[in-house]
Chains A and B, each alone.
Chain A
Amino acid sequence: MLKKILIHLFLLSLIVVFFNDKQLKASEKKCFYCKEYKYLKDWPIEKRPKAYIYEEIKYPDDMFKKKTLKSKNLIKKRAGEKVAHRFVKSKGQLNKYQHLMIRDSAYFEVMFNEKLNEKLAKVESLESLKKARDAIRQSLKISPNASSSEAIYKFWATGKIMTKIYNQNKKKKKKDDEEIIKRVKILNDLKKQITITKSNAQKAATIEADKNIND
């Protein structure tokens, strides 16, 4: 009986140690500022990098309805809806509708900026969102240090012009261009073979050098 209790106790302690370890690992935060400040209200503005300071923005004319522009909450809500739809709900179609992805990246910027106006926004969540924001900015080569307003205008205007291109092109029919494709393939093959030729030359010199050094 005592033996059974001891075995149970041993197993229990193993489970406790295992879960504690897992919990500890999970609690290792992959963020920087969140270790010092839990909520945005704890983080003095003068100590924040520029990217975490709220910016008052005059939005592009047709980005929000006039009614929405009257309330920051409505702006935040609308931006959140747009982001959720484009980047979460329809993320499988981002490649097909790139023009919309670019345009709606402007809403992502708005959402991030508006979060910077929430006292109870979690710093950990903001750091996480900033990583995503910086990654999305790469599509138009926008610097991570650029202001939100600059990024918004770039995404919005480019999305608008790319949408015009998309709308014009969707009416066009693809031409029969088999002969063109053949020629383009020849040139593409040629480029690939040249890359291999150059790399092979360096490999040949490298292998020969390696042999001679070891001789």
Chain B
Amino acid sequence: MIRFKIFTKLIIFLLFTFSSLADNYVENVSGISELADRSVKAAVSQINSDTEKVINNLNNQIEKLNDTNNDIETALDVSIEEAQKALEFVQESLNSGDMPAAVQSLNLIESVADIAINSVPSLNQIENINLQEDFSDEEISALASVTGAMVVEKVLDVQKMAGQMNVVNKAGLNTSNMMNSLDEKGIGIGSVISNLSEVGVVNVEKITGKKDFQIENFNTENFSSMDVVEIGMTPTLMQGALGELPLGAATKALETLSKDPNEMMSLDASLITSEAIAETLGLTADSIAKTMSIKGLSVETISDVGKELNIENLSEISEEITRQSSLSDLNEIIQSTGLENVTKSIELAFTDESIGVTKAITKNANLISEALSKKSAKKGLKNENNTLENIELPENISDTGILIGAAILAKPNLASGVQGLVAPPEGLKSGGLISDSEVSVASNLTNVDESLATSNAMKETLGKMTNIEENKISDLGIDKIVENTGLTPGLVATIGSVGLNGLDINKAVAENVAGIGSETIQKISQSIADGTANSQTVADLISSGSVNHGTLGLVGANGVKNLSKAMGIENEDNALVSLSGGIVGSGSVESLENINPEVVEGLGIDPSMITSNAIAETMLGVDLVKMSSAISNGMSLTEALESSALEDLEDVEINIASMALSQSLASGELIKDEDIQVSADISGIDSSLITSNAMAETLGAAASNMQSGMGMDPNAPTNQPGYNAIDPATGEAPKP
């Protein structure tokens, strides 16, 4: 009996030791090599010292606050208290070597602060509104679509927050208690999800299984990984939301619908008859198809997707959809799901600030109006509190250093997972291998082509990216440090560049792996890889902006070769382009005439227009990721080629950080004003590109275009006699 007890204790001890070692990210990384050991410990020490300063500073600021009974102030106080607790947990996590929990605690504090700040009512509120009185059916459809597009960011934020809670909770901080305290004041995740559910953005019952949100029924890991159908978004908002999300999100939504049509249960209860559901499903499928068409997918490919998923409406789709307004289907959906419900939802979406619709519109309108009036406000960019200093990077920091620094922080930064809404690969979802503290060199989480994942290609790519001999790469453990992330070297370089500039790493990675979790995107990629894809499919992938680090890795060397060839590009090493995301190894457009005319036609351009070689002569290489993004943003092929030209291949290859940053800036709306704190110019890239002013400048030019465009019209009002920009009576600009 005593022997048995000793044996049991020994087993428990061994299991405990093993499991703490498995959770000890710092120990695991340190074990790779001396280089890894020193780098990870430098990061730990830095977070420790910075967190200490943040805690002290916060305590000082709290002391200066007056006691209050005001509801809003009390709510803000609770969020500050919870932030204090989470900051202490950062230090606890670091002491136990759990760096992912430490970084995710920091991220969770940001999310909590965001909700609290947004809960403060501004003047931007409306008390009563009656859409049915003042707005036509078409206008209501338009508003539903705009609402759908504007709420996407909010849902992404909540999914991200759920992923953070999942990591931090597992590490030992009771996030249920934290959220209960915050929800009591209306500023926890439950309050946000309940408000979103009222509008039809999500459905609490689908998410938690209960009508009302209760934290104990909320599975953070599942929610964070759900797609747009699984979260219970109503079909009326889905059209606008999918328009804002990448193509893979739409195909993933169709996949979920085709597997289980009952997923779409958030309809008006009176309409839940089999006919009504079938009708709504059909209309929803049509609506999603139109969204896919607007994104650049051809009717041919949409029809193939329909056949593959056995969705009748889609498989029989015709060219007619390219001529129809996507709002017409939405109008029909609104009528079939109940006009009254929809109008109530929209009214609420515009009146309840916690939904974020009016704030999102105001924020975007600010950028446009500032750009058009050529007033760029740099408000909110400075860190007024000087307790924490930005570390200055030495000049000429090596690309290898940037890669290692990014790799060390990649898993901690991404442990919360990429949001399910963008259809990422399984391994990168919340609770997937990305949140595993173990060093797992065997698995690639971005579903990279197997022939590249198992070959020596990774090491060769790293050699080309860092200009270091392969032997030295092994000796220093650089290959293992990067492979440990489960990401392609190109994606790690992107994390490096984005993270050092203080931008949102999660968003940059999401942009680059979006859609990889969709079976449809996987099949399209496979057909490109094995050469069975027709010209239209190749054109579709490019024109829908779906060429990113994820798809380049997924299609592998063969796929990259086929994609590049279609665009007249010959690469020196296709495997290198696949794994580096085109950051290195991209070839040149030798002649625009080599571009496949069928692909050009598929991009919506008359092939006879491609006659000039002037551009090709000035270009040494082309960045496929940037080019695809440019075409999907409405640029013509020539403009896209110009904007993605690598003017000096040598320079690019010795500065991967600048290349990675420019790709990230091109591929998505990465920049938020509040993100712009850290502006150390590590990349040599034009600093104007690191701010949202890049957008302002584009629009400034647009404003000039607008004037010149009008100036060419002799009938334009500005060209009429007596037209004055300033009111001669008052000397002021005319009042609206």
Contact = CB atoms under 8 A, between A and B. Distances in A.
A201 B100 CA distance: 12
A100 B103 CA distance: 43
Contacts of A179: 65-66, 68, 70, 73
Contact of A102 (B58, B365, B637, B699): B365
Interface in A154-202: 154, 156-158, 160-162, 164-165, 168-169, 172, 174, 179-180, 182-184, 186-202
A69 interface: no
Contacts of B500: 199, 202-203, 206
A145 B325 contact: no
A35 B612 CA distance: 10
B308 interface: no
Given A95-B369, A186-B58, A157 B135 contact: yes
B312 interface: no
Contacts of A202: 43, 405-406, 408-409, 496, 499-500
A93 interface: yes
Contact of A204 (B391, B468, B701): B391
Contacts of B120: 180, 184
A33 to B, nearest CB: 7
B39 A208 contact: yes
Contacts of A194: 54, 106-107, 109-110
A190 B65 contact: no
Interface string A100-143: 11100000000000010000001011101111101110111101
Nearest to A94: B369
Contact of B361 (A77, A90, A140): A140
B361 A61 contact: no
A187 B116 contact: yes
Given A132-B706, A153-B141, A198-B413, A140 B47 contact: no
A191 B397 contact: no
Nearest to B291: A143
Contacts of B705: 128-129, 131-132
A88 B710 contact: yes
B113 A205 contact: no
Interface of chain A: mostly helix, strand, loop or mixed: helix
B385 to A, nearest CB: 5
B364 A138 contact: yes
Nearest to A46: B606
A214 interface: yes
Contacts, number: 395
Given A136-B702, A197-B54, A205-B43, A187 B117 contact: yes
A50 interface: yes
A81 interface: yes
Given A157-B146, A160-B139, A141 B70 contact: no
A162 B634 contact: no
A24 to B, nearest CB: 13
A49 B601 CA distance: 10
Contacts of A143: 243, 294-295, 634
B364 A144 contact: no
B73 A145 contact: no
Interface residues of A, number: 102
Contacts of A147: 325
Interface in B268-300: 294-296
B11 interface: no
B365 A139 contact: yes
Given A187-B79, A200-B46, A51 B141 contact: no
B678 A80 contact: no
Interface string B379-399: 000011101111101100110
B244 interface: yes
A27 interface: no
B136 A61 contact: yes
A166 B734 CA distance: 19
A198 B108 CA distance: 13
Given A139-B361, A200-B390, A160 B135 contact: yes
A197 B703 contact: no
Contacts of A188: 113, 117, 674
A146 B326 contact: yes
A87 B361 CA distance: 18
A84 B42 contact: no
B717 A81 contact: yes
Given A84-B716, A93-B733, A132 B405 contact: no
B605 interface: yes
Contacts of B639: 32
A189 B146 CA distance: 32
A85 B72 contact: no
Given A60-B138, A196-B390, A132 B244 contact: no
Nearest to B711: A125
Nearest to A101: B369
A189 B384 contact: yes
B405 A206 contact: yes
A114 to B, nearest CB: 11
A98 B362 CA distance: 7
Interface string A49-92: 11100000000110000000000000001001101111111111
A210 to B, nearest CB: 3
Given A87-B372, A132-B705, A190-B54, A200 B244 contact: no
Contacts of B400: 209-210, 213
Contact of A207 (B384, B393, B675): B393
Interface string B149-192: 11000000000000000000000000000000000000000000
A40 B481 CA distance: 58
Interface in B41-76: 41-43, 45-47, 50-51, 53-54, 57-58, 61-62, 64-66, 68, 70, 72-73, 76
Interface string B483-500: 000000000000010011
Contacts of B114: 191
Interface string B318-360: 0000100111000000000000000000000010000000100
B393 A189 contact: no
A184 B391 contact: no
B698 interface: yes
A150 interface: yes
A212 B702 CA distance: 48
A134 to B, nearest CB: 5
14 contacts: A47-B608, A49-B604, A51-B634, A80-B713, A85-B717, A93-B373, A101-B368, A134-B633, A153-B142, A154-B145, A160-B139, A190-B80, A207-B394, A212-B476
Rank and list the top 7 A-B pairs by shortest CB-CB distance, nearest first.
Answer: A144-B634, A206-B405, A210-B401, A209-B404, A94-B369, A208-B42, A204-B46
